[in-house]
A and B are shown apart, each in its own frame.
Chain A
Amino acid sequence: MPIGDVLPEISLTLGAVAIVLFASFVRQRQHHWAAVLALLAIGLGAGLTVAQWGGTPRLTFSGVWALDGVALASKLVVLIAGALVVAMSPEWMRTDRRHGEYYALVLFALLGVIMMASASDTMELVLGVLLSSVASYPLAAYHRGWAPALEAGMKYFLIGALTNTLLTIGVVVLFGLTGSTGYPDIAQALATDSDRLALTIATACVVLGLTFKLAAFPAHAWMPDVAQGSPVPAAAFLTVIPKIGAAVALARFVSLLPPDVAWRAIVASISVATMTLGNVAALRQTDVRRLLGWSSVSQSGYALMAIVVLGVSDQALPALVFFLASYATANLAAFAVVTHLRGRTALDDYRGLARHAPIAATILIVSLLSLVGIPPLVGFFGKLMLFRVTLEGGYAWLALVAVINTVVSLFYYLRIVAPMMFGSRQSAVHVLSGQWARSAMAVAGVLLIVGGLGAEALSLFTGSIRFAL
């Protein structure tokens, strides 16, 4: 067995196991060391991933596991995002009795997402989706004594159970059609004539299954509740990281389909529905976390634009990964600020923040502007790449829809910015004591600007990635 090919994943698994053991035997007060362990595991995983960089794209483990630029790049993005989530957690979780185990769950969920991004086999895909789901449900409902958290967890679980079942059905039908679960064989079998009705059903099921992880229409309903109800660091995780894996998995899957399955039209309509719905729903929110949840739905819609033009524009995959990385940075920065502010969530609590907590306010404003795509922040380059490939692929109407949606989204982001800058407050601003959340917030904020000014590095890094298939 080519164990060397999955060393990053092994380091995550071992890290998670070590954390579970550590948390069982150490006093609760020392559990923040588990965060250090988690960071070490993630760092090691990232280092090992970098070491895999530069090889020719290939499949390994009998063709079920992809080692290509797309997998490695998204793995790195996932790991860095995971590290930021871990870093913003310790002070938030400090009072929780099960503080330590939280990090183990985070690592398992990360592992699941990485499997989704790397799976080159439908069974492997199901495994990744299930692992990340199973580890994510408890993350969403981690504060089990609090009703909104439980509600979020329940919703997440119920929608997850339904869509995961659909995904599995799709995979089974596909297996029945092609007699195989490996992507190369499936692609080959589909290229020759096969039952189009069954294929359509299978495609619909798999795509639906993945929209759950993407928080895209029609399986997006859990996102606002999770963003609002789960612990803020967990919300940061769940609004960002599963999306990365799911988007790559979806891209991998649709690239197998023969052209006469109208998957471009399907993905394009999901994209339009998702971005429009997310934006319209976010417009009137007065709860910042919920608003960020809906905004995160709409951002999935933008990401899907790159998948629509997959294979038409040679830069579609780089644009997808670039956009996901830029979105992840901005959303994590926003959630890090919310964490730092002890999860305050009513829009009124943000009044006058710019005067009383200038650094937090600045980072939040910069992250929101990056989500809109104001240059020279990294989000601008993400959107630029998306628009570019969409126009190149001949989907100008889709780009125009995205433009209109972006203008709409600017409105609700400004609804957060305006009271912070223009309002005034009497009461003091309470923040989490300690340096974890503060540093995570600062790092994410710096990344937004550095990522924009150094877009060349990111662009070189993602520029030549492609699928192994």
Chain B
Amino acid sequence: MILTAALGLPMLGALALAVSSRWTETAARRCAIVVSVLPVLLLAWAWRQFDPQGVLFQFVEEVPWVPSLGMGYRLGVDGIALAVATMSALVFSASIAYPVDTKHQPRQYYAWMLFLQSVSLGVFLALDLLLFYVFFDLSLVGMFFLIGRWGHGQAQLAAFKFFLYTFFGSLLLLLAIIGLYLSVEPRTFDMRVLIEQQPLAGAGMTAGLVFLALMLGFAIKTPVVPVHTWLPQAHVDAPGPVSAILAGVLLKMGTYGIIRIPFAMMAETFSRYALIIALFAVASILYGAFVALGQSNLKRRIAYTSVNHMGYTVLGIAVAGALIQDTEYARELALVGATVEMVAHGLITGALFLICGSFWQRTEEYDLDSYGGLLRQAPWLTAFAVLASFASLGLPGLAGFVAEFHIFAGTFGVYPWLAVIGVLGILVTAALFLQMLQKVFFGAMPERWAQFEDLRPIEWGVLVVLSAGFVLIGVAPAFLLTLVEASAALLVGGR
């Protein structure tokens, strides 16, 4: 029941906000914040209860939905899902609590946010392929309305592009899911059965096509170069908190999906193509880093670093699936790293995009060159931006380092030369963040920002929580690693 409650409560909250028109702005906001915190608490409790020595999937719930099709309302988590889901819930509460211009429709805004929280958690908690797809698709709908209604710039165009592009990916995914479904007897969408049976092992062409469709669908969502082109515009034109969710949570659906479906259910096919996937991942790492370095728009720059960071994650997963003899330990390291990267990137980039939101609220300006010397004017904002940037570029002692260390340590054990190339990405990332900080916070301050306000209590309150998250993972990662390692070992070694 605990997982159902985690995704059901925000949905109920969304309904309550949607149905009645009598909510005032403050009441709607308060209600949304309280409701959005509940899943965090529930999942944290589940984390405490999770048994790392136990079976792969725990807290399993199962209710038949369309049994004649083999579809059910099946929920359950392993360590990877639980970690990512908890992080998502936290990023959601942070984004909901973060102040934003609701354009005279506070009730609708908070209702959509809660709806999106519910379905996003659903993606990570589902143990049924079709249920996974249901939530996966619904997250697009929620995101479309949030960007289109509350975005700025060419918001509608960005929303259209986002929806159409990623919907194509999700339909490919649907075809692949049906392909997997048709390959088991008796027909079922139950992930546990599919993971156990590896139904398409040795199926040649069919397996290849299903795998291609799955990977293409998830690559669009992640996004992996060259199918990342929907991302910059969606990020730039979405309001800050929505960008935080887009980067922090929605992108994780792609990489989480790769771990859950092609990696776990088609191990043999995955290993055959692992090197190719790793090459694409390295391309994403380098391309994302270099293009980000070239951006003069604050938000666009951070958006491209997401391409870079998700590249690390994909690299970790590809390495973990490589199935090369006597590399179990390295592959497990890589998978742990990929998961920690997902959690770390969610918290760090979430914080960075919220900070972007603060900029937009104050100045409606993202151009890096128009800023300068804000350190004196806004010390708190500077502090959080510096902390998050350092975390993002992988400074030891912060979460990004833990993740990238694991990934590259694993990669060295399997594809050493790829690791060497990939590490270049970290170098460029460091350069681009330092340059960004220097441009915005140091040097001479232009006259027009004389009235620039520092963070308000609610803003830094939220940022403290997110920063505490990635500092904690950086300093004492054991609580996260125990959880993830248990499942990673089962997924990598148990095959």
Q: Among A392, A403, A418, A459, which residue has its beta carbon within 8 angstroms of that of B171?
A: A403
State the CA gap A387–B174 with chains docked (Å).
9
User: Which residues of chain B from 42 to 92 have any CB-CB distance to chain A below 8 Å in the complex?
Assistant: 64-69
Identify which of B137-145, B253-261, B366-374 touches chain A: B137-145
Q: A406 contacts which chain B residues (CB < 8 A)?
A: 167, 171
Instruction: Indicate if A369 sits at the interface (CB-CB under 8 A).
Output: yes
Instruction: Indicate if A410 sits at the interface (CB-CB under 8 A).
Output: yes
Instruction: Indicate if B240 sits at the interface (CB-CB under 8 A).
Output: no
CB contact under 8 A between A374 and B164, given known A391-B182, A418-B156: no
- In the bound complex, do residue A375 and residue B68 qualify as a contact, i.e. CB atoms below 8 Å apart? no
Instruction: Indicate if B312 sits at the interface (CB-CB under 8 A).
Output: no
Instruction: Indicate if A455 sits at the interface (CB-CB under 8 A).
Output: yes
- Scoring B residues 432 to 463 as 1 if CB is less than 8 Å from chain A, else 0, what string do you get? 00000000000000000000000000000000
- In the bound complex, do residue A381 and residue B178 qualify as a contact, i.e. CB atoms below 8 Å apart? no
CB contact under 8 A between A387 and B69, given known A375-B133, A410-B163, A421-B148: no
State the CA gap A380–B67 with chains docked (Å).
16
* Minimum CB–CB distance for A372 against chain B, Å: 8
State the CA gap A381–B138 with chains docked (Å).
14
State the CA gap A381–B189 with chains docked (Å).
14
Instruction: Indicate if A376 sits at the interface (CB-CB under 8 A).
Output: yes
- Scoring A residues 444 to 469 as 1 if CB is less than 8 Å from chain B, else 0, what string do you get? 00000000000110011001000000
Q: Among A369, A391, A411, which residue has its beta carbon within 8 angstroms of that of B175?
A: A391
User: Which residues of chain B from 150 to 185 have any CB-CB distance to chain A below 8 Å in the complex?
Assistant: 155-156, 159-160, 163-164, 167-168, 171-172, 174-175, 178-179, 181-182
Instruction: Indicate if A240 sits at the interface (CB-CB under 8 A).
Output: no
Interface residue SS majority, chain A: helix
- In the bound complex, do residue B168 and residue A403 qualify as a contact, i.e. CB atoms below 8 Å apart? yes
Q: Among A380, A410, A422, which residue has its beta carbon within 8 angstroms of that of B167?
A: A410
Q: Among B66, B160, B175, which residue has its beta carbon within 8 angstroms of that of A400?
A: B175
Instruction: Indicate if B209 sits at the interface (CB-CB under 8 A).
Output: yes
Instruction: Indicate if B149 sits at the interface (CB-CB under 8 A).
Output: yes
Q: B181 contacts which chain A residues (CB < 8 A)?
A: 388
Q: How many interface residues does B have (CB within 8 Å)?
A: 33
Q: How many interface residues does A have (CB within 8 Å)?
A: 29
Closest to A463 in B: B68
- In the bound complex, do residue A456 and residue B67 qualify as a contact, i.e. CB atoms below 8 Å apart? yes
* Minimum CB–CB distance for A246 against chain B, Å: 27
Q: B178 contacts which chain A residues (CB < 8 A)?
A: 384, 387-388, 391
- In the bound complex, do residue A399 and residue B145 qualify as a contact, i.e. CB atoms below 8 Å apart? no
Q: B138 contacts which chain A residues (CB < 8 A)?
A: 374-376
State the CA gap A403–B217 with chains docked (Å).
12
Q: A387 contacts which chain B residues (CB < 8 A)?
A: 174-175, 178
Binding site for A on B (CB under 8 A): 64-69, 130, 133-134, 137-138, 141, 144-145, 148-149, 155-156, 159-160, 163-164, 167-168, 171-172, 174-175, 178-179, 181-182, 209
Which 7 A-B pairs rank lowest in CB-CB distance, beginning with the nearest? A375-B134, A403-B171, A407-B168, A456-B66, A459-B68, A455-B66, A388-B178
Q: Pick 18 A–B contacts, CB within 8 A, sort by A.
A: A369-B141, A374-B138, A384-B69, A387-B174, A387-B175, A388-B182, A391-B182, A403-B174, A403-B175, A407-B167, A410-B163, A411-B164, A414-B160, A421-B149, A422-B148, A422-B155, A455-B69, A459-B68
20 more contacts with CB within 8 A, not counting A414-B163, A455-B66, A456-B66, are A369-B141, A374-B138, A374-B141, A375-B134, A380-B134, A380-B137, A387-B174, A388-B178, A391-B178, A391-B182, A396-B175, A403-B174, A411-B164, A418-B156, A418-B160, A421-B145, A422-B149, A422-B155, A455-B69, A463-B68
